[in-house]
């Protein structure tokens, strides 16, 4: 038993981790590989598709729906049960992306899941609070932690003007609002640096588009709409803010257009 229970429309009810895929299991944090692409002997023989359980997990992320996690004893992990299968609680899908591991070159979908707190609250970031507002509930910590001094500096350099669309959100009290987007995400398995070269100053809309791969930055700073392939502008630059091409390439490889660029 291994795989994803659920449908695209409703989201995934449960996933089973039981080895055979290159999942990463850190207990409260899991990087789960989608289903498909293997033959009966567990060899990588084809691309995975964003259908069935793989699409259901994306629905779970978009809708913020919890997923039951079940671990089997065959899982290569310190958190595997000694025998049989064990229900290990509710998790939320915090992120998904795609990649072609060089070992076999086939398209794989991957999902980062974070365990829900005991009261079932999401651990994934909720909508951001305005700047300088301290967290009121523990579940906001993850996002606010990421609003580091580095992020503040990048946002200040751009004076909160979105590097994609040029808009600036005025809060009405003299302050402006923007978000610092990590191009290559922090944390397992991406391990992007918290460095200005790995950050963009974006409006919330373009932050979401960028995080889901709805837009990506092609060579020369061209902003591309992933669905249509149309160039929609140029990344706004600031001479004091170098953006790393290697991070933009990583973003394109893992999110742009859902099937790789």
Listed in order, strand segments (DSSP E) in the chain are: 3-7, 11-17, 24-25, 29-33, 67-72, 85-99, 108-115, 169-170, 176-177, 179-182, 199-202, 215-218, 222-225, 231-234
| Residue 95 near Zn ion by CB under 5 A | no
- Judged by beta carbon, residue 98 or residue 207, the one nearer Zn ion is 207
* Nearest distance in Å: CB 217, Zn ion: 13
Candidates 88, 95, 206, 211: give the one binding Zn ion (CB under 5 A): 206
| Residue 70 near Zn ion by CB under 5 A | no
| Residue 181 near Zn ion by CB under 5 A | no
| Residue 31 near Zn ion by CB under 5 A | no
Locus of tokens 């980062």: 112
Instruction: Note every long-range contact of 98-103, with CB atoms under 8 Å and residues 24 or more positions apart, other chains counting.
Output: 98/254, 98/255, 98/258, 98/259, 98/260, 99/253, 99/254, 100/253, 100/260, 101/22, 103/44
Residues 112-171, interacting with Zn ion (CB under 5 A): 162, 164-165
User: 251 near 182, Cβ under 8 Å?
Assistant: no
- Judged by beta carbon, residue 70 or residue 164, the one nearer Zn ion is 164
- Judged by beta carbon, residue 145 or residue 232, the one nearer Zn ion is 232
Count of residues that interact with Zn ion, criterion CB under 5 A: 5
| Residue 183 near Zn ion by CB under 5 A | no
Residues 160-179, interacting with Zn ion (CB under 5 A): 162, 164-165
| Residue 203 near Zn ion by CB under 5 A | yes
Residues at the site binding Zn ion, with contacts judged by CB under 5 A: 162, 164-165, 203, 206
């Amino acid at each position: 038993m291994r795989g994803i229970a659920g449908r695209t429309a409703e989201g995934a009810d449960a996933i089973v981790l039981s080895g055979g895929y290159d999942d990463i299991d850190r207990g409260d944090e899991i990087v789960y590989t989608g289903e498909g692409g293997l033959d009966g002997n567990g060899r990588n023989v084809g691309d995975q598709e964003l259908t069935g359980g793989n699409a259901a997990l994306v629905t779970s992320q978009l809708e913020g729906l919890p997923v039951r996690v079940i671990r089997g004893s065959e899982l290569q992990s310190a958190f595997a049960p000694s025998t049989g299968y064990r229900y290990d609680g509710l998790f939320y899908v915090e992120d998904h992306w795609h990649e072609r591991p060089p070992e076999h070159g086939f398209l794989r979908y991957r999902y980062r899941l974070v365990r829900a707190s005991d009261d079932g609250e999401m651990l994934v970031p909720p909508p951001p609070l305005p700047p300088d507002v301290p967290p009121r509930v523990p579940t906001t910590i993850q996002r606010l932690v990421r609003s580091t001094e580095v992020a503040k500096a990048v946002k200040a350099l751009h004076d909160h003007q979105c590097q994609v669309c040029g808009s600036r959100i005025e809060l009405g009290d003299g302050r402006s609002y923007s978000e610092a987007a990590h191009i290559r995400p922090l944390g397992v398995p991406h391990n992007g640096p918290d460095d200005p070269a790995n950050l963009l100053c974006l409006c919330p809309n373009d932050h979401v588009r960028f995080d889901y791969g709805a837009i990506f930055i092609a060579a020369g700073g061209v902003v591309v709409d992933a669905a249509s392939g149309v160039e929609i502008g140029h990344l706004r630059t600031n001479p004091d803010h170098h953006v790393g091409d290697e991070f933009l390439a990583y973003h394109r490889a893992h999110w742009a257009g859902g099937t790789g660029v």
